[in-house]
Structure 1
Amino acid sequence: MIELAALDMAGTTIDEAGAVYRALRTAVERTGVPVAEADLQTWMGTDKREAIAALVRLGGGTPTPDLVEDGYAAFREFLREAYRTTPPQAIPGVEEALAELRRRGIKVALTTGFSDDVAYPLLESLGWSAGEGGNLDAVVTSDEVPRGRPAPHMIHRAMEKTGVIDTRRVLAAGDTVVDVEAGANAGAGVVIGVLTGELTRADFEGHPQTHVLDSVADIPSLPQARPAV
Structure 2
Amino acid sequence: MIQVVVLDMAGTTVADDGLVEQAFTQAIGAQGIESGSKRYDEMLRHVRATMGESKITVFRHLLGNDEAAAQQANQAFETAYGTLVDEGHCEPIEGAEETIRELQGHGIKVCLTTGFSETTQQRIIAALGWKNLADLTLCPAQAGRGRPYPDLVLKALLDLQADAVGNVAVAGDTAYDMTTGIRAGAGIVAGVLTGAHGNDQLVAAGATHVLESVRDLPGLLNH
TM-score normalised according to structure 2 size? 0.90
Residue 2 of structure 2 corresponds to 2
Q: Which amino acid aligns with 1:209?
A: A
91-100 vs 38-47, which deviates more?
38-47
Distance in 2 (alpha carbons) for counterparts of 1:212 and 1:25: 30
Q: Which amino acid aligns with 2:3?
A: E
Q: Residues 205-216 of structure 1 correspond to what in structure 2 (within 5 A)?
A: 205-216=203-214
Residue 61 of structure 2 corresponds to 54
Q: Which amino acid aligns with 2:193?
A: L
Q: Residues 63-102 of structure 1 correspond to what in structure 2 (within 5 A)?
A: 63-102=65-104
Shift of 1:77: 2.1
Distance in 2 (alpha carbons) for counterparts of 1:200 and 1:26: 26
Q: Which amino acid aligns with 1:39?
A: H
What count of residue pairs does the alignment treat as equivalent? Answer: 216
Q: Which amino acid aligns with 2:211?
A: L
Could you list the runs of 5+ residues in structure 1 that have no partner in the other structure?
57-61
Distance in 2 (alpha carbons) for counterparts of 1:210 and 1:29: 39
Shift of 1:127: 1.3
Shift of 1:2: 0.7
Residue 226 of structure 1 corresponds to 222
Contact 1:25 1:35 in 2 (8 A): no
Shift of 1:150: 0.5
Distance in 1 (alpha carbons) for counterparts of 2:73 and 2:51: 15
TM-score normalised according to structure 1 size? 0.88
Note the alpha carbon deviations across 1:26-77, whole angstroms, 9 max, x for none: 4235433424354222321111111111123xxxxx3312101110121022
Note the alpha carbon deviations across 1:177-228, whole angstroms, 9 max, x for none: 1000000000001001111112222332322110111111110111xx228x
Q: Does the residue aligned with 1:34 lie in a helix, a strand or coil?
A: helix
Shift of 1:173: 0.8
Residue 154 of structure 1 corresponds to 152
Residue 116 of structure 2 corresponds to 114
Residue 143 of structure 2 corresponds to 145
11-20 vs 82-91, which deviates more?
82-91
Distance in 2 (alpha carbons) for counterparts of 1:216 and 1:63: 35
Contact 2:85 2:127 in 1 (8 A): no
72-81 vs 95-104, which deviates more?
72-81
Distance in 2 (alpha carbons) for counterparts of 1:12 and 1:21: 16
Distance in 1 (alpha carbons) for counterparts of 2:133 and 2:76: 31
Contact 2:88 2:127 in 1 (8 A): no
Contact 1:191 1:209 in 2 (8 A): yes
Distance in 2 (alpha carbons) for counterparts of 1:41 and 1:87: 20
Distance in 2 (alpha carbons) for counterparts of 1:185 and 1:24: 28
Moved >6 Å (runs of 4+): none
89-98 vs 40-49, which deviates more?
40-49
Identity of aligned residues (%): 33
